[in-house]
Structure 1
Amino acid sequence: MTDLHAVGGMRKLNNDNYNTWSTCMMSYMQGQDLWEIVNGGEIEQPEAEDANGTLRKWKIKAGKAMYALKTTVEEDFLEHIRDVKTPNEAWEIFAKLFSKKNDTKLQLLESELLSIKQGNMTIKQYFHKVKLLCREISELDPEASIGDTRMKRIIVHGLKPEFRSFVAAVQGWQTQPSLVEFENLLASQEALAKQMGGVSLKNEEEALYASKGKRNFKQRKSGGSNRNQGEESSREWGVYKNHDNNKRFEGKCYNCGKKGHMAKACWSKKKSVESNVVTSNSEEEWDAEAFFAVEEEELALTTTMSDKIDYENDWIVDSGCSNHMTGDKEKLLNMSEYKGSRVVVTANNSKLPIAHVGNTVVSPQNNDTEMPLQNVYHVPGMKKNLLSVAQLTSAGHIVIFGPQDVKVYNNLEIKDEPLMKGRRLESIYVMSAEAAYVDKTRRNETSDLWHMRLSHVSYSKLDVMMKKSMLKGLPKLEVRTDTICAGCQYGKAHQLPYEESKYRANEPLELIHSDVFGPVKQTSIGGMKYMVTFIDDFSRYVWIYFMKEKSETLSKFKEFKKVAKAEVGKKICWLHTDNGGEYTSDEFTNFLQEYQIRRQFTCANTPQQNGIAERKNRHLTKSCRSMLHARNVPGRFWAEAMTTTAYVINRLPQQRLHFLSLFEKLWKMKPRVSYFRVFGSVCYVFVPDHLRSKMDKKAVRCIFVGYDKQRKGWKCCDPTTGKCYVSRNVVFDEASSWWSSDKELLPDSDTLKRDLQSSQVQLKLDETEIC
């Protein structure tokens, strides 16, 4: 972080801020009546003292000025002025060092300005970046200062595509906004776009024009008043309709080729569409390609037309064409001579001149709606009429290509998410594909998926967490609270309420609730049958430990006491338990007395008095069952499921804690859940090069069984071998299960025996962070 000096909060002089520093320093010196000493009429020291003490006063002011100069520069530049005699010498040295015009830096700044794009910047950040570059260029070369008009053109050139239709509308105003007004308008448009949510597709009849069967539009010839009416609507950019229904149709029939009627009224037998692929490469066939109107140095992308089209009257809708263009001069209204520098580049890089620019009116066949077009290029000799998708969208319209037709809408609202999404670069549309190793098999996230990731948390609580953004990485999705989850039905049926104690601890570890869960009929992978829980009354944070026998309860309490004191930094004051023999032994009692830990027991046959521990065990159990049955995971993974459940529950907001999570209540920080995955889902763990040969598989197919507390990685287990891995290089298939039914598909007897007898797991870890 750059140090700030006490002089007005001024940043110290460095390689990049001389102009800012010199301006601030000049203002400071003038305010302190020191500027005349630095760069004014008093730069020379008086030769001798006089009766008014002129020499003494000069030295005092010079000392103040030198102090200000030396304390507002970085140490690297202090050497340049360490031995100077007067403030003026120091000032001149800095001026020579920094104010000299730097042609290389100027070229870099100008290049950056010409290529600047908005990208991920907001409107405010984008405008600030452009203004900063313009100011730096002006400071380096005052003769090349950039005015507001040019700055607006630069800004418009780099704006995101979604602003172009708005900019086109603003450019049509009679009075153009200033640069500040233009920034405020775009910022308002940006804020409005963020507020808009899902939208719905309007009726097809609301399309300004549409063409079915072929991607082209037909030019409707009309004369007299109709032509004038089209000219007027062209100026207003409105929807033009020909109400002269009695006028004879003068165009050519698409079916039989004769003039005087349309294809829908043709009495001849319908013809099949023939292919008309252009095969000639001669100069005369150049207009069979699609064109760009570009600067002479630029190249053009091309497409070919393969349908049989009436090239004389049809308008070909081309997403690769940068501007409307035609070779028929008679189609244009209000025509004027083209004076720009653009040319039309064909597929073979030949360049064709643009002669005129005008307006026209087009209409699809069998449709009464007509659409005025502005700024249409007249390219002499061109045999095709091209309709630019880029120019239509720049005017605020939306173009949709379907399997059999193309439609142009003035207003369109869409509900569903697109299958693919591209972006507009210059005057073409580009579809880019990106892939990340971890997300290769990741499905679209839904509320049901996050319900399972969060240990089958209730949908009502999930809805609140998403709406209020209570967890980092948890997206905002629509949640249906009436959803029925099979895993929840298996694990949470017949939930019984308990009355909660009114007493609450005032600080962490003041009161600990404990209870033993078990024995579990299904032995875990590590041979565990019991689980003991320790709950902090202050935060309700839960620690769990697994045991083979109840007699291990004291050893687990000792382990918990050591860990809790190290992590929380507090001493356990009270221990609240039931009257189980594992808690009432002489050894347990002596240990508590030794460390001055007081204890509370429940009355006989009243487990409700140990309600906090009982409810927590019930909560852990039902969530554990839900996760196991949702993915048909066998019971031998109950310990892993319990560990994962406790890990997740500790990070979920609780209503009794004013929607703070247990983790946040205890550790004073909001937990992150973006790395959460569905327990028991199929996953693929990457095997490092040094652990396999060249022909071995590069990944191991496993199931996800939890999160590691000491290392940043996912815990995955291979059910066929019983080996477990901790790694961050994991690809998840959260939609798939290892087991296809409630019963596990058992491996061979030797593998099963080795699996059940395994009490230790093999851990392999890549130290790279998950998030």
Structure 2
Amino acid sequence: LSTESEIKAWKKRDALVRSIISRSLDDFHHAFIRSCKTSKEMMNCIVRIKEQATVSSKLLVSSEFHAYTWKPGMNVASFIAGLNVIVNKMQSLQIELDDEIIIGKVIQCLPSDFDSFRQSWRLSAPKTVTLSDLTSQLLACESDQLCRSMQAVSIGEALVGKRTTSKELNENSKKRNIECWNCKKKGHIRSECRSQRKLNSSTLKDRTKSLNRTGFVARSWLDIRQEPNDGWLADSGAFKHITRNRHWFSTLEIIEPQGVRIGNDKMIYAVGIGTIDVEVFNGKQWIASVLNDVLYVPEFGSSCLLSLGAAAARGYKIIMGNFNIRLMMNNRTELVGYKDGDLYTLLIRRLSDNTSMSAMLTEGETHSFELWHQRLGHISVEKIKTMMQRKLVDGLRATAEEKIFCEGCVLGSMTRKPHKEVTERRQSVPGEIIHADVCGLFIHPSVGGNRYFICYLMLPMTNAR
């Protein structure tokens, strides 16, 4: 039998435990233990409630797993990510689920676009495969489908011709009797007048001469806005750089779907991480650089995000102004951008062939026939001379060159040359060809110590030859 002091100590400890349990429960669960007199009764009541809730949760999650399907608007990344969420719930409730069951669920729920993949998988499925391997193959298949659809659309647009309507014919017939206000000739209007184009060209020359007289021209932020870029936005809230363009990556590693929450509180998933070779503008020139740890998020928008936090972690100093932004390293500007509305656009672009790009510039360093030949779609020099004489193109000025060499035209029109027939007579009579053979190895050497000898066979030529 317990003494009175032991009973008093037990009641004190029991009261302390009941107080701890009572304070740790919410209002819903607290209602079930209000009638309990000891801590043991409280724990037994909570265990009964939790066991019943666990059984219900297992049934609910299992039903959710079997009812999960591919919904319209989904892609491979979002489907796998949603399935992983359900699988994680089942594992937290200690529901055993084999990888074969999960992979079978994925194959079963694929839409009709993946029928060929599903059929090839059933015919030659590997013995050991993981969900990550299957995800990589599905992403590659989805990327191939996207490329084929884009090629089909471009081919369809290229084959669509424009039909001349009766309205256009009527407008052309009306223009025959219209008199131009500029040159007083019939057949065109003032906006189509060639004399007006000549006037604009001369005005452009005068303006160019006036600019050439200037000794120093400062580059403003308005000029920087004209620099081409790939739409990278500076984001102080992003923890890594983000893009949806898979073909930009020079190296890409497929990872488990990683959740990324965007501005409208929607959860999208990154399925890869890698590096992108780019060029960055430092305010004076474009410099080759590399973006590391870029997340591949297929569902992301058309813009790309550059994480200012990741840049600061690498030692960059970020300076934001009213109209521009600069990223500096060791007191030297490495990257600039401009403010567009409430966002900062960074001057970042993919690596490109500067030689082919320079041919499309409005004002080049030289004005040769070769340069205009590239600008005008690789037309002949005679056509360029005719266009320059008639002044059909504004600003067409070229140096006098009789012949040019275009590597692109040579490679594009390259054909296989025919094989030449053999006209020389092959030797076929004994004596014209010397026959030789090496004999050996002999066990016993000769007097001179040799174990090999060469035998020559030379037959005399006939009188007829």
Q: TM-score, normalised by structure 1?
A: 0.19
State the TM-score, normalizing by the size of structure 2: 0.28
- Please state which structure has a larger fraction of its residues in helix: 2
